[in-house]
């Protein structure tokens, strides 16, 4: 009887150490991706290229992730999960070490592309891995904990990394990320369980996964929501200029990051019971934030309140969308998550392009109406998916 009780308790408990290892993997991924953006002049000078050319380090990373996520995930379905996870993390060690040591621009670009490839595979694995470690009723909480590294990297890791690079140099920062990745490999080997490859009989082709009821709804909602977010996030500077707060960009982004952490915590404790409600509420909070930003009078108090709502809405969004997809795709979670990674990267690129077109053609005043239209479309997509995708 005691063994049965112990088994029940273990089944009802989150494997915190293993999930935090996955969270650190996400932290390293975001840090590797975004850290160069704040160091472009230094990197360009060191590699004897322009700042614009140094900016292609960010582009190559995104391109690698975009191109690799789906084909790599499909191609590796026959492999055991932990060795595959370790391989993805090892890719960051190689890529960041080469980035730190290379004096050649083209070699550094190749290293950044490799980092992006590793990221595409890693993001496709994390949610499914977290979901497999717990019973179905805890999937949402497990995925939320595994995803906590993302807002931590955005709100703490990148500003801290940028600051430290001014002291020890940008190359030393990338070596430090490699060292952190090496520690992560040891952590994974000790704490993260291994899982068998998906049985061949249960593997669906890419088109089959896409046809699963609800998968397309979750992917569509993710794409539209993240597109709206990235239009605002990428062009927050001209938006704040319009309300005479251009000198407070760092503070605004810090408030956004802290609110995002709170958002992911709130979603984490409610997601397994109220996933659909959480997705609808996040969309509404984001819409309310846009109304306040555009028509709230422009006072600092209103702007910061709007940024808090925006952070709360976005912080838990990755967990909400990934959990919805994990529960919808079931045995095909990894392949479905690779589609989500691709949709997410398309939304990032699309946000930059769409925001530039709006800013150039119409000015920042059209941001809010555009984002509200996108959020209304997101809300409608989630609302209609009450049978499959975002189940009631």
From first to last of its 392 residues, the chain has per-residue pLDDT tens of: 444 444 434 456 889 999 999 999 999 998 998 888 778 888 888 999 888 788 888 888 888 888 888 898 888 888 888 999 999 999 999 999 999 999 999 999 999 999 999 999 998 888 889 888 988 888 888 988 998 888 788 777 877 887 888 889 899 999 999 999 999 999 999 999 998 877 766 677 777 888 889 899 999 999 999 999 988 887 877 778 777 777 777 788 888 888 988 998 898 888 888 999 999 999 999 999 999 988 887 788 999 999 999 999 998 898 899 889 888 887 778 888 888 888 888 888 788 778 888 888 888 788 889 999 999 999 999 999 998 888 87
pLDDT of residue 188: 96
pLDDT tens for each residue of 128-147: 898 889 888 888 889 889 98
The fold of the 14-192 domain, in CATH, is: Growth Hormone; Chain: A; (1.20.1250)
The boundaries of every CATH 1.20.1250.20 domain in the chain are 14-192, 206-384
pLDDT of residue 294: 85
CA 162, CA 94: separation in Å to the nearest integer? 21
pLDDT of residue 4: 42
CA 336, CA 342: separation in Å to the nearest integer? 10
- Work out the angle between the directed axes of helices 105-132 and 56-75 (0-180°, nearest 10): 40
**CB neighbourhood size of 367 (10 A):** 25
CA 200, CA 114: separation in Å to the nearest integer? 29
Q: Which CATH class is domain 206-384?
A: mainly alpha
Sorted by sequence, the CB contacts under 8 Å of residue 49 that are 6+ apart come out as 105
State the first-to-last Cα distance of the chain, in angstroms, to the nearest integer: 37
pLDDT of residue 388: 86
């Amino acid at each position: 009887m005691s063994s049965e009780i112990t088994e029940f308790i273990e089944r009802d408990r989150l494997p915190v150490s293993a999930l935090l290892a996955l969270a650190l993997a996400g932290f390293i991924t975001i840090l590797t991706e975004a850290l160069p953006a704040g160091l472009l002049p230094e990197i360009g000078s060191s590699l004897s290229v322009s700042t614009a050319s140094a900016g292609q380090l960010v582009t190559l990373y995104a391109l690698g992730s975009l191109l690799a996520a789906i084909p790599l995930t499909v191609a590796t379905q026959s492999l055991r999960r932990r060795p595959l996870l370790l391989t993805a993390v090892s890719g960051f060690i190689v890529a960041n070490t080469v980035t730190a040591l290379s004096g050649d621009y083209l070699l550094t670009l190749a290293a950044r592309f490799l980092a992006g490839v590793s990221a595409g595979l890693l993001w496709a694995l994390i949610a499914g891995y977290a979901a497999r470690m717990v019973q179905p009723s805890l999937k949402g909480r497990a995925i939320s904990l595994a995803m906590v590294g993302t807002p931590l990297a955005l709100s703490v890791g990148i500003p801290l990394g940028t600051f430290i690079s001014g002291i020890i140099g940008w190359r030393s920062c990338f070596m430090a990320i490699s060292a952190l990745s090496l520690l992560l490999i040891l952590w994974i080997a000790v704490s993260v369980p291994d899982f068998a490859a998906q049985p061949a009989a249960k593997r669906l082709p890419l088109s089959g996964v896409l046809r699963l009821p609800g998968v397309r709804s979750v992917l569509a909602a993710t794409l539209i929501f993240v597109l709206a977010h990235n239009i605002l996030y990428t062009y927050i500077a001209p938006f704040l200029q319009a309300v005479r707060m251009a000198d407070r960009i760092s503070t605004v982004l810090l408030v956004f990051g802290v609110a995002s952490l709170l958002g992911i915590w709130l979603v984490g404790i409610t997601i397994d019971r109220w996933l659909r409600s959480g997705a609808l509420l996040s969309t509404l909070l984001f819409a309310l934030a846009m109304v306040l930003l555009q028509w709230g009078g422009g006072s600092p108090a209103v702007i910061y309140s709007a940024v808090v709502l925006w952070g709360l809405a976005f912080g838990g969004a990755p967990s909400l969308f990934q959990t919805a997809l994990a529960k919808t795709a079931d045995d095909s979670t990894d392949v479905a998550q690779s589609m989500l990674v691709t949709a997410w990267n398309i939304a990032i690129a699309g946000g930059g392009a769409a925001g530039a077109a709006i800013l150039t053609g119409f000015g920042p005043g059209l941001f809010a109406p555009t984002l509200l239209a996108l959020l209304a479309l997101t809300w409608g997509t989630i609302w209609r998916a009450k049978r499959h995708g975002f189940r009631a």
